[in-house]
Amino acid sequence: MGQQVLNGIFVGSIYALFAVGYTLVFGVLDILNLAHQAVFMLSAFFALVLVEHGLSIWLALPLGIVFGGLLGIGLERIAFRPLRGRAGSNLSGLISSIAMATVFEAIAAQIFGPDISRFPQGTFPDRMISLGSASASLLQVCIVGLSVLLMAVLTFLLAKTRLGRSIRAVAENPRAARVLGIDVDKVIALSFFLSSALAGAAGVLFGLAFNSISPDVGRSVELKGLAVIILGGMGSVPGAVLAGFAIGLVEVFTVAYAGSTYRDAVSFAVLFVVLVARPRGLFGQVAVREA
Amino acid sequence: MNLYLAYQGLIAFVGINALLALSVYATLSCGQLSLANAGFMAIGAYTGALLTLHAPGIPFAAVLLASALLPALIALPLGLPVLRLRGVFLAIATIGFGEVVRLGFVNWDYTNGALGLVAIPQRTKPWILWLTVLAVLFVLGRLRGSRTGYALEAIREDEMAARTMGIETTAYKLAMFSFGAAIAGIAGALEAHFTFIVSPSGYSFGRVVDMLVQAIVGGTAYFVGPVIGAAFLTLLPEALREAGSRVGLSPGPFRLFLNGVILLAVILYLPDGIASLPRRLRRRVRG
């Protein structure tokens, strides 16, 4: 039981980290960025290449995070900014993000091939830690710790800093924010940087945790991420954090008590039920315009 | 004639992809982005394959009819709650449905789980395929300028306003959702009886993205757009394959890359798709 809870928290922390960035961009732009998973995947590959060239993982991880953030800025420049202000731009934004995801996946498949790549052995010290009756590897503990730390930093950033206030202002009403002297384009670019940096972090940690990276590794996480942000309420960061852990736990318990065949089906069932019964999720605002 | 034989497979895939792109167009024509069609395609493909394998006496036309009807019927109870969602939320809910269908087939022992069904007799003849494409185009063509066609257009432009004018938006949306499901189901059955196999991996999220890309690239303002898009994106990678491999690009990633770049270019610079090119050029020439 304790072991299951531990495993659930571990899986959930990666889902939450992935979904927080997802929901941040949705909150600001009302656009579902389906290239989020491709940033996740490319950052994992980037860190892998660095490690293969002899860099320590403690350097490769932050570099992977920055790489993800830069990809996000590029993504916004190429696929989202030109569409801004057009009628129906949130659906065309969704489609252009699919286009970028396809391009990113093609690049990864060309460079790394379709097979699974792995971090070299000994990338991370292999040690077990026992917590009461349950046990976890040092890697798992670090992943949970890092995810929680990064999400705490993001929450602090959004709540207390000038940048966070500008981001919330743009999310609330871009036109009013511009009138108040906020550089809306810059704030959106920075939101993309933050969001994609978190995707990068999730990607590197996921790659380390499951030690398998392939060009389509982001696909399954993307669909889990959708379930997480719907359950948490689109655009709500605390919602995504809680829902991430919730989905992780539900998944682990499903595997334990109903068999692994139902693992993926459960998150979609959650997604479906929430959308039909309570589209604003746990923490979404009451007046979600699209639902 | 030799040329035709050499490219027979490719031409068939243009037809199948055209049907799939049209199935996405059906819901887009009233402004709804539904991504459930890989799931409906899977249901149609499995229905058709199981009928042919277990009851070989049934004529192919009846098999195809069943492959269209079952997804269309499933679309009705699914669409009723789901079509209340708008925009991105509808897209997400339908992605969820597609994945549930795929996972269902992966876990269903009767259809050999992840391996799927094999050795399906090849019953899809080119004329059957293209007759189906023409029939779908005929229906969509008849809609244009009709009462229904105007209603769909009104819903696409502004759903709230359409409802205020007394248009039964839910009924129209549900009808197009179900029609799209039927087209996807037929396409699935036609493909299954052409490639000999059905397996869950053929109906993943990537498949519905392909359909969407082809519909958008061709253009969704006019009903022949999706057919143009399907033909263009099916034939172009083949035409460029050799050039690509000469510079060291493997065919799979190369096709993906082309798809992505073309989709991006169309969304940014040609929002009404390739089908709108002639009109645009004419306007430019006239100045």
CB contact under 8 A, A276 and B82: yes
* Residue type at A240 in one-letter notation: A
Subunit contact B263:A96, Cβ cutoff 8 A: yes
Question: Is B198 in the A-facing interface, judged by CB distances under 8 Å?
Answer: no
Q: Report ipTM for this prediction.
A: 0.88
What pLDDT does residue A276 have?
82
Q: How many C-beta atoms lie closer than 10 Å to residue B234's C-beta?
A: 22
CB contact under 8 A, A110 and B253: yes
- Interfacial B residues in 155-194 facing A (CB < 8 Å): none
Give the whole-number percent of chain B exceeding pLDDT 70.
98
If contacts are CB pairs under 8 Å, which of residues 77-106 in chain B contact chain A?
81-82, 85-89, 91-93, 95-97, 99-100, 103-104, 106
Alpha-carbon gap: B86 to the closest alpha carbon of chain A (Å): 5
Q: Which of residues 70-89 of A touch B (CB under 8 A)?
A: 78-79, 82-83, 86
Residue B287: which pLDDT band, with cuts at 50, 70 and 90? low
**Cα angle at B6 between B1 and B11, to 5 degrees?**
95
Contacts 24+ apart (CB under 8 A), A53-62: A57/A119, A57/A123, A57/A124, A57/A208, A60/A204, A61/A201, A61/A204, A61/A205
Instruction: State the pTM of this model.
Output: 0.90
Q: Using CB atoms, which residue from A32, A264, A272 is nearest to B88?
A: A32
Interval A123-181: pLDDT, tens = 787 778 877 777 888 888 889 999 999 999 999 999 899 999 999 999 888 888 889 88
Distance CA A95, CA A33 (A): 9
What is the CB neighbour count within 10 angstroms for residue B179? 22
| pLDDT confidence bin for B76, thresholds 50/70/90 | very high
Length of chain B: 287
pLDDT at B246 over 90: no
Percent over 70 (pLDDT), chain A: 97
Chain A environment of B92 (Cβ under 8 Å): 32, 226, 230, 271, 275
Mean pLDDT value of segment B132-145: 92
H or E element: which one contains A136? strand A134-137
Q: What is the dihedral of CA B98, B121, B214, B211, to 10 degrees?
A: 0
Q: How many CB atoms lie within 10 A of CB A168?
A: 15
Residues in chain A: 291
Nearest CA-CA partner of B22 in B275, B278, B202: B275
A266 in contact with B, Cβ within 8 Å: no
pLDDT, tens only, B89-126: 899 889 889 988 998 999 888 999 889 998 888 888 88
- Pairing of β A134-137 and β A128-131: antiparallel
Q: Yes or no: say if A99 and B257 are a contact pair by the CB < 8 Å rule.
A: no
User: CA B58, CA A200: separation in Å to the nearest integer?
Assistant: 54
> Which residue in chain B is spatially nearest to A215 when comparing CA positions?
B253
The total of other beta-carbon atoms located within 10 Å of residue A61's CB is: 22
Average pLDDT over residues A192-211: 94
- What tens digit of pLDDT does each residue of A56-81 get? 999 999 999 999 999 999 999 999 99
Q: With bands split at pLDDT 50, 70 and 90, how would you rate the model's confidence at A109?
A: very high
Produce one character per residue of A172-210: b if its CB has 16 or more CB atoms within 10 Å, e if not: eebeebeeeebebeebbbbbbbbbbbbbbbbbbbbbbbe
Amino acid making up residue B148: T
Q: What mean pLDDT, rounded, does chain B reach?
A: 90
SS3 of residue A117 by DSSP? strand
Name the pLDDT band for B4 (thresholds 50, 70, 90): low
A290 vs B86, B253, B261: nearest CB:
B86
Residue A93 has pLDDT above 80, yes or no: yes
Interface of B with A in 42-71 (CB under 8 A): none
Q: How far apart are CA A78 and CA A96, in angstroms?
A: 9
Helix (H, G, I), strand (E, B), or coil: what is residue B34?
Answer: coil
If you average pLDDT over residues A33-41, what whole number do you get? 95
Q: Which amino acid is at B41?
A: M
